[in-house]
């Protein structure tokens, strides 16, 4: 009962922030999708050549070093949330957190938009196995970290003149705990990307290689 009440209070206090951050992220996705249409023919051809080489590498099994893949993937994810964590401890970092969420949306929107726009349903299939699965966890984790960081930053502004230990220590521990939990989830995502993503991509790359050449 207490947990349910705490969750309800948490959602009530932070719902507006979640909506705001969600809108920023979705705006980034839309912007990234629109960017695909702004590419010149030469740029589209260059990206397609890169994709052709990437598809061939996947087909040949070049992504078999799971340790290196895990390290690269986890490093990328953990750097992202650590930047958010640092920015949350400074008031001036608050708008930068929103910029990060917007850029994340742009990256996903552009990637999926380009694949679908150039490769039709086969591009959508590739996006479903290479982009969507991990982002079902990555995106919520980043949004939760962003909202928690913004809430902590706002707390600092409201209580900047308070000297009581509890005014900073307890919110900081909750804030850091959320970041650590998200880091653990992203470690699991990195394992998935290292072990499962290459296998799933290899299922669909044969039908894409000829289209990308």
> Which pLDDT score, from 0 to 100, does residue 6 have?
62
> Which pLDDT score, from 0 to 100, does residue 93 have?
85
> Which pLDDT score, from 0 to 100, does residue 107 have?
95
Question: How much of the chain, in percent, has pLDDT values that exceed 70?
Answer: 87
**pLDDT higher than threshold 80 for residue 191:** yes
Q: What is the pLDDT of residues 38-56, one digit of tens each?
A: 988 898 889 888 888 888 8
- Name which residue leads in pLDDT, 7 or 94: 94
Nearest-10 crossing angle of helices 197-204, 132-158 = 130
pLDDT interval class at 14 (50, 70, 90) = confident
- Is residue 140 within a helix (H) or strand (E), and if so which, with residue range? helix 132-158
pLDDT interval class at 119 (50, 70, 90) = confident
Q: Look up the pTM and report it.
A: 0.87
What is the C-alpha R_g of the chain?
20
> Which pLDDT score, from 0 to 100, does residue 171 have?
82
- Name which residue leads in pLDDT, 110 or 41: 110
> Which pLDDT score, from 0 to 100, does residue 162 have?
52
Residue 175 half-sphere exposure toward CB, CA atoms < 13 A: 24
Among candidate residues 171, 174, 139, 146, the one with its CA nearest the CA of residue 157:
171
> Which pLDDT score, from 0 to 100, does residue 127 have?
92
Among candidate residues 155, 142, 2, the one with its CA nearest the CA of residue 91:
155
The distance between the two most distant Cα atoms of the chain, rounded to a whole number of Å, is 66
> Which pLDDT score, from 0 to 100, does residue 61 have?
66
- Is residue 199 within a helix (H) or strand (E), and if so which, with residue range? helix 197-204
Do residues 122 and 210 touch, judged by C-beta distance below 8 A? no
Give the whole-angstrom CA distance, residue 102 versus residue 12.
24
- Return the domain boundaries, the chain: 2-212
């Amino acid at each position: 009962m207490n947990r349910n009440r705490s969750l309800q209070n948490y959602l009530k206090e932070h719902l507006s922030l979640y909506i705001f951050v969600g809108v920023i992220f979705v705006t980034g996705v839309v912007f990234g999708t629109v960017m695909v249409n702004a590419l010149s023919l030469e740029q589209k051809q260059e990206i397609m050549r890169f994709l052709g080489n990437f598809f061939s590498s996947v087909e040949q099994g070049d992504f078999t070093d799971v340790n290196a893949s895990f390290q690269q993937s986890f490093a990328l994810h953990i750097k992202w949330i650590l930047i958010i964590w640092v920015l949350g401890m400074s008031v001036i970092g608050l708008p930068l957190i929103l910029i990060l969420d917007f850029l994340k949306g742009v990256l996903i929107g552009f990637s999926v938009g380009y694949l679908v726009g150039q490769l039709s349903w086969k591009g959508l299939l590739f996006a479903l196995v290479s982009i969507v699965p991990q982002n079902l966890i990555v995106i919520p984790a980043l949004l939760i970290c962003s909202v928690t960081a913004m809430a902590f930053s706002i707390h600092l502004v409201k209580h900047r003149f308070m000297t009581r230990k509890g005014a900073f220590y307890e919110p900081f521990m909750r804030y850091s705990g959320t970041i650590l939990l998200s880091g653990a989830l992203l470690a699991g995502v990195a394992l998935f990307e290292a072990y499962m993503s290459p296998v799933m991509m290899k299922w669909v790359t044969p039908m894409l290689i000829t289209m990308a050449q």
